[in-house]
Amino acid sequence: MDTAGRAKAAAPGGPCARIPADQMDFVRQILDRVGDKWSMLVISVLEAGPLRYTELQRAVPGISQRMLSLTMSRLQQDGLVTRTAYAEVPPRVEYALTPLGSSLHHVVTSLITWVADHHAQIREHRSPTATTP
């Protein structure tokens, strides 16, 4: 804290300026979690409603069982997803977004839409024949 008793800002301007320096590491951890490609895809898929594990795996092409399990565990740990186990034979488990996870959905969907709309342009820039200005 500075001499006036206020928390010191982490950056001089922009959105980072509102974050106290002592909280910046945790903010980066959260951004890393919610910005992870698998987390974003899972959040976007779960907005339609609760899904079972195998339904989730089918809805997120390319995700391995290990990565899906890890992603679901982390999202649950952060309060973005709930896991509900039903005492049935065979056992049934469903995953759903929490209100906190749902509040993130529009941001995630916007980013995924932006990527889908601009991937060809980005691919061109990554091309070995692309010239630099």
Per-residue model confidence as pLDDT tens digits over 63-117? 999 999 999 999 999 999 999 999 988 889 999 999 999 999 889 889 889 989 9
Reduce the DSSP state of residue 84 to 3 states and report it: strand
| pLDDT number for residue 127 | 82
Quick check: is 41 in a domain? yes
| pLDDT number for residue 132 | 57
Quick check: is 39 in a domain? yes
Per-residue model confidence as pLDDT tens digits over 27-58? 888 888 888 999 999 999 999 999 999 999 99
pTM of the entire predicted model = 0.77
Residue 12 confidence (pLDDT) above 80: no
Q: Please identify which residue in the block is written with the tokens 């759903």.
A: 96
Gap between the Cα atoms of 43 and 108, Å rounded = 7
**Environment class of residue 109 by beta-carbon count within 10 Å: exposed (0-12), middle (13-18) or buried (19+)?**
middle
| pLDDT number for residue 16 | 82
Do 82 and 95 meet the contact criterion of CB atoms below 8 Å apart? yes
Could you list the residue range(s) of the whole structural domain that residue 96 is in?
20-126
Q: What is the mean pLDDT of residues 10-14?
A: 65
Q: What is the CATH number of the domain that holds 60?
A: 1.10.10.10
Instruction: Provide the 10 A C-beta neighbour count for residue 121.
Output: 9
| pLDDT number for residue 18 | 85
* Number of separate domains in the chain: 1
Do 56 and 42 meet the contact criterion of CB atoms below 8 Å apart? yes
Quick check: is 113 in a domain? yes
